[in-house]
Amino acid sequence: MHLKRHPVISGFLLMAGLVGTSAIAADELPAPIQALADQGLEIHGQFEAPGGLRGYGASVQGQDMAIYLTPDGEHAVVGTLMDSEGNDLTEAQLDEHVRAPLEEQTWQLLSESHWIQDGNVDAPRVIYTFTDANCPYCRQLWQDVRPWVEAGKVQLRHIMVGILAPDSPGKAAALLGADDPAATLHAHESGQQEIEASAQPREIEEQVYTNNQLFEELGLYATPTSVFQRETENGNVRLDRIQGMPSDERLIEMMGSEAP
């Protein structure tokens, strides 16, 4: 077996910059692994590895990596484990022990954010989308998804953020604080009645601030950004995201079907 001493960068690690709680208690970590945790690495879980090594899945600042503890328990190596035929023995472990748990945590955080319902609450497909009231692409997405929403197949949950213009936070707060947020958002995005920024109770303004923080912690940079669940070939449910306006092909993928 061979050990390449360079970290693996995940192709899709949604939790960039988001600090969570290590899955393994500190008093259970061997000293070299604890030393890395003290330096800021989040330790998510451990797994079996060949050659007497013990593997740990970890992440830091959006980068996932594997740590291998030597049999004597006194040393740790960060990198990718390869067998004698050049097969990568690390990638699958990272996917199971780092990316999947982080994506599950991300979905939970999205569900706990402050969003406005768009569509039937019983619609089977749920999509979270970060929406700025001043974003023309958010309005375009809203219009493009009407066939699926109106058919009851998809529900969008608009996480209102204020990032594009000085009055964006005030508009987001006005939407979240409206007597009927869903109807007010519908009127705004359809062009029937533009929302105006207005002072809201502190609780509502803090909801916008919290949404903005989540947007930044997830390492996002564009509105709309939409997050949805997809089923992999092996039947597992994973997260996917689209930053900005999706192509026609990606829109169908996000919606889960052709337009009804």
The answer to whether position 162 is within a domain reads yes
CATH of the domain at 189: 3.40.30.10
pTM for the model stands at 0.81
Domain count along the chain: 2
The pLDDT mean for the chain works out to: 88
CATH of the domain at 41: 3.10.450.70
> At residue 234, does pLDDT exceed 80?
no
The answer to whether position 103 is within a domain reads no
User: CA quadruple 223, 236, 65, 92: dihedral positive or negative?
Assistant: negative
> At residue 75, does pLDDT exceed 60?
yes
What is the residue range of 249's domain? Answer: 113-255
φ, ψ of residue 56 to 5 degrees: the values are -135, 135
pLDDT (0 to 100) of residue 219: 85
Cβ pair 131, 243 in contact under 8 A: no
> At residue 9, does pLDDT exceed 70?
no
Do 74 and 132 lie in one domain? The reply is: no
pLDDT in tens, 107-153: 999 999 999 999 999 999 999 999 999 999 999 999 999 999 999 99
Give the CA dihedral 198, 204, 206, 211, nearest 10 degrees: -100
Which is it for strands 225-231 and 54-60: parallel, antiparallel or unpaired?
unpaired
Which is it for strands 80-82 and 2-4: parallel, antiparallel or unpaired?
antiparallel
pLDDT (0 to 100) of residue 25: 57
pLDDT (0 to 100) of residue 84: 92
| 5-14, 85-94, 116-125, 234-243, range with greatest mean pLDDT | 116-125
Q: What's the average model confidence in pLDDT over 167-192?
A: 97
pLDDT in tens, 181-207: 999 999 999 999 999 999 999 999 999
- CA dist 244 and 249 (Å) reads 14
